[in-house]
Chains A and B, each alone.
Chain A
């Protein structure tokens, strides 16, 4: 249960940041982009009500998330310490700060719900809402990474709050753009508002990103003092992931800005209405993942504190170096024999069988994915090069590539839990319902199997309105998010990092896979085909990473 509580704790951190962006970013949007008191822009009551609704719903959800965080902490401590954590917990900064922030978030959301929504065109009320938000924003400083530090505590707390504000301004603005597009699609706002807001937001977005960099750089320099710290620690690795996601999001932002510029020069609004909304959807997914990564970063020890546990760049590169996949598994008997020594604290004996068992699982899964994605890439090709043209007639069969997921599901079913049926002595029912980890593996196996069936149906369906195809990118994005936010237990910090670096790389490729497939389903040609190919190429990369995976001996 402690594992579930702790994982939910890391997830709620990302959810908290999403709600924060909805509320604070929504206020920034109102004050600097929408400016509702300018009636000549052609606003209507529906737009204003929807805009403010996002702000107060975000605020109420933020309060709920903050409260849930406290409950999770109590749950986690009760599970880990095996006792009720009060009265000690009541005196901690986390408890007191969390309760204060919850109340301030409720107060802010209540003001927006009760007062701002009744005076949506009033500049004074928007200004008052932002003043009401200030104590809640400041209270968050005592709940961040920097609050527990000894050196430069207040400077780091202030910079972190600034960093969060800038990110909320950008991401909250993107949420508002999605809201505006939905209203525009349903003809509930005038058509002119869409390009006008896109244009205004593009400048506001640039300012927000500049502030993200200005506030983030000193924090990074404070927590990471060497290049090795950036490359060879979990903290540095997640920072690199954040920078990569930021770059992807900025790529979408650039596409949007280019479309707005084209519209303002030529008056052609085709791209504005047929591409930009979907780029913004993909950008939203990337930014949400970025927020979860940011929350995950807060659970990592800063690189500056673990210089003795930092991996060298050669060790990092080695985890990706091509090698012959392990296609021979150690015997089940050898694996079980090594378990007692591996999990012992005193007289621990690393188990080569456990490492090789895991390598085999990862490598074979990699072979599955690489082969599937190879056929998936072929499915986008009309004709093979002339020397292979004899095989052209088989090309239509390549669209059945999701069948590989079904095979992968069966493989995982047999290999995930060595001690349980069908390989181990514990029966199927006993292992499934008396062991949380085995139950999770069984569910994951069933899902991989189901995903294969769904994606196969989506690829071969003749119904053009089928929504089945959207399941795959949603799950791929979720899978990417999981890979970026979960860490590994039972390992020393350096070993855990060397495992993490491969998993975060796969997480980024999963996100590319998800966005690519989403855009393939939404865009017109040629963007559709390009996005689709990029998507399956990302799946290929995941397969390659898995195929060369090597676990440290532990």
Chain B
């Protein structure tokens, strides 16, 4: 009987697996005030509410058709800030998709949409 209960609990555990929304969130980003200019390399600044382990994070540019391109980023001068280097982009709709490992141990995935015109 106990074995059955343990087995049921185990499969229930696996049956409930989902990815959680984690702690680190973007509190500010430069795209709100400074749009990306067409056809020239540019930067996007993201500010997080928590310390970020940049070496364990990934940031992608997402183009039409959901094509992903890994981007380079560096730590900014302000607390929790990172600067993402964007290649020259033609006018159109894009997104920044990031997987961020925060200092408190949580992984966060999120997407920010933007347009180049």
- Seen from chain A, the residues whose Cβ lies within 8 Å of a Cβ on chain B are 2-4, 6-8, 10-11, 73, 76-77, 80-81, 85, 88-89, 91-94, 143-150, 234, 296, 298-302, 305-306, 344-347, 436, 440-441, 443-444, 447, 450, 467-468, 471, 474-475, 478-479, 482, 486-489, 493, 496
Contact = CB atoms under 8 A, between A and B. Distances in A.
A474 B5 contact: yes
Given A346-B63, A471-B5, A486 B24 contact: no
Interface string B94-109: 1101010111111101
Given A299-B106, A344-B66, A447-B12, A88 B21 contact: no
Given A7-B20, A80-B99, A440-B17, A493 B53 contact: no
Given A81-B56, A145-B104, A345-B97, A443 B15 contact: yes
Contacts of B23: 145, 148, 298-301
B1 interface: yes
Contacts of A77: 56, 101, 107
Contacts of A471: 4-5, 8
B53 A6 contact: no
Given A93-B103, A150-B80, A440 B25 contact: no
Interface in B46-93: 49-51, 53, 55-56, 58, 62-66, 79-80, 93
Contacts of A89: 56
A4 B25 CA distance: 22
5 contacts: A81-B58, A150-B51, A467-B1, A478-B12, A493-B25
Given A150-B79, A440-B14, A493-B21, A301 B49 contact: yes
Most chain B CB atoms below 10 A, which of A77, A474, A496: A77
Interface of B: 1, 4-5, 8-9, 11-25, 27, 49-51, 53, 55-56, 58, 62-66, 79-80, 93-95, 97, 99, 101-107, 109, 111, 113
Most chain B CB atoms below 10 A, which of A301, A305, A471, A487: A301
Contact of B14 (A4, A73, A302): A4
Most chain A CB atoms below 10 A, which of B19, B53, B63, B97: B19
Nearest to A468: B1
A478 to B, nearest CB: 6
Given A4-B14, A7-B17, A148-B50, A305 B25 contact: yes
Contact of B94 (A299, A306, A346, A436): A346
A94 B105 contact: yes
Given A81-B99, A148-B103, A149-B50, A301 B13 contact: no
B12 to A, nearest CB: 6
Most chain A CB atoms below 10 A, which of B24, B49, B99, B102: B49
Contact of A478 (B1, B9, B104): B9
B95 A345 contact: yes
A489 B19 contact: yes
Considering the complex of A and B, which 8 residue pairs feature the smallest CB-CB distances, nearest first?
A88-B55, A148-B104, A148-B50, A148-B103, A305-B49, A7-B17, A94-B105, A301-B25
Nearest to A143: B105
Contacts of B97: 345
A73 B109 CA distance: 15
Contacts of B20: 6-7, 10, 296, 299, 486-487, 489
B111 to A, nearest CB: 6
A92 B100 CA distance: 14
B65 A148 contact: no
Contact of B12 (A93, A143, A479): A479
B23 to A, nearest CB: 6
A77 B19 CA distance: 13
A92 B107 CA distance: 13
B69 to A, nearest CB: 13
Contacts of A81: 56, 58, 99
A436 B18 CA distance: 11
A479 B13 CA distance: 9
Given A81-B58, A347-B64, A440-B15, A148 B107 contact: no
Most chain B CB atoms below 10 A, which of A234, A345, A450: A345
A471 B49 CA distance: 43
A147 to B, nearest CB: 5
Contacts of B65: 346
A139 to B, nearest CB: 14
Contacts of A10: 20
Contact of A2 (B4, B19, B102): B19
B17 A4 contact: yes
Contact of A302 (B49, B56, B79): B49
Nearest to A482: B16
A140 to B, nearest CB: 12
A451 to B, nearest CB: 8
A81 B14 CA distance: 22
A147 B16 contact: no
Contact of A447 (B8, B50, B56, B103): B8
Nearest to A98: B105
Nearest to A309: B25
